[in-house]
Amino acid sequence: MNKKHFIYSIPFLILLSGVCAAAGLIWAMGKSPEKKKVERDLPLVETQEVLSYSNGLTLEAQGEVVPYREVSLAAEVPGRIAWKNADSLAGRYVEEGQLLIELDVADYDLEVKRVQQSIKENLISVEEVDIQKQNNAELLDLAQQELEIENKDLERIRSLNAQRATSKATLDEAEQSRIRALNAVQLQQNQARVLDKRRARLLQEKERLLVELEKAELDLRRTKIVSPMEGVIVEDPVEEGDFVQRGALLFRIEDTSKVEVDFDLKLEELQWIWSGETQAKARTVNSFALSPLPVEVVLNIDGRRYAWMGVLDRYDGAGLNAATRTVPCVAVVAEHRGKLEAGRGSTEGQGDSDSFSKPPALMRGMFVSVRIPDIRASQSLIDIPITALRPENKVWLLEDGALRVRTASVAQLSNDRVYLLAKESGVGVGDQVIVSPLVLAVDGMHLRDSADGQGETASATLEKLR
């Protein structure tokens, strides 16, 4: 082949090579791929057994310490403050009966003396009336004797006049003498009645004066202002030398014998209290009464927790809180010193001896935690780990190698446990509840239990990835 023919055959050779390559590619694509056998791996999960729970529930809430009572001391009589106790200042502690203020007593002393003098004068007047009554009684006795004599003399003269032994004039004179004697008796009797009325009026006057004396002595005592209870002075707006009117505020004292804690409970939490036997009995007497259940009040200060024991006392009102839709409740705490619980800086056996670890008392405005322990449920409860509770209160069970989804009725949540109502949750004691995560959970899907020892669990795999 000469050079000219070779040059003309090059395009033909290139076309032939392309056709061969395309045919080989088509043959390769038409060949069936080699089949491999794929094994099916089921998801591996961790499970725990559902336990029965027979202990009581603990209700927890946040509360605020408020005074048990606060008394306002006002001036009951007007006057100038002559003396004020140097310790009667805001923030100072006062004892019951401690003298706080004395008002000027000069006017009240004079009033007491005036009324006492009036009573003495009244007693003298009563004595005078008694003497007059005694004299009148003697005169009345003499007048009655004279009347008897005149009656006898009149009868004698009448007898003589009937025998014509005396004149008509003598008879008239005897009758006149009798009338004069009778008039004397009547005058003495009238005088006796007047003296009785006068004495009664004086006695009434004496009673009025005694009331005035009691009022004057009471006003005199009211010039001394004493503390009606043990407590802390919250406000003292007056000073020595001030003139105060009746009703002017002198002190405001807060009772420290006990404190109250205001807190709110949800209706579902109150249901546990209402369902108790003790509360059921109380409601038969008073529908608005709460059982006096023990309450633990906990204060957290820089990691240290202090606990006081109190008692559930009452509702704070008779309705729901409109903002939070909870029920306001009140607990009363009579303990003054709190006990140190476990916390930062506390050591076993040293908490009570550490002076730094003892707050003096619960004080107004402190924010505390309120725990009502040992609330007995009216129906049986079951106990599962908190990791077993899924969104929307779902619980996954492993039954015969398949996943079963149940909707639980939660009674209470704690730090690491969940307590469910056994009858309403569809979960029973001894069931295997899934505690490990699943990417996809479908009711009825097949699973493997890690307790069978068939590989790593999903939670273990996630831990390794971390």
pLDDT one-digit tens code per residue, 92-119: 999 999 999 999 999 999 999 999 999 9
Neighbours of 239 (CB within 10 A): 8
Q: Among the residues of 275-390, which ranges form H helices?
A: 277-285
Model confidence at 303, in pLDDT bands (50, 70, 90)? confident
Q: Which whole number is the average pLDDT over 41-52?
A: 88
**β-sheet bridge partners, residue 371:** 60, 296
In the chain the domains, ranked by start, together with CATH numbers, are 47-55+380-465 (2.40.420.20), 57-66+257-375 (2.40.30.170), 70-104+229-255 (2.40.50.100), 107-221 (1.10.287)
% of the chain beyond a pLDDT of 90: 53
Residue 440, Cβ density class (10 Å: 0-12 exposed, 13-18 middle, ≥19 buried):
exposed
Q: How many residues appear in the chain?
A: 466
Q: Which two tokens stand for residue 117?
A: 């003098």
Q: Which whole number is the average pLDDT over 69-85?
A: 96
Cα–Cα dist 438/42, whole Å: 12
Q: Which two tokens stand for residue 264?
A: 């709110």
Q: Which two tokens stand for residue 63?
A: 């509360």
394 and 406 Cβ atoms separated by less than 8 Å: yes
**β-sheet bridge partners, residue 309:** 296
Amino acid 152: pLDDT: 93
Cα–Cα dist 338/304, whole Å: 11
Q: Could you report the per-residue pLDDT of 330-369, keeping only the tens digit for each?
A: 999 998 888 887 655 554 444 444 545 566 689 999 999 9
Q: Could you report the per-residue pLDDT of 122-163, keeping only the tens digit for each?
A: 999 999 999 999 999 999 999 999 999 999 999 999 888 888
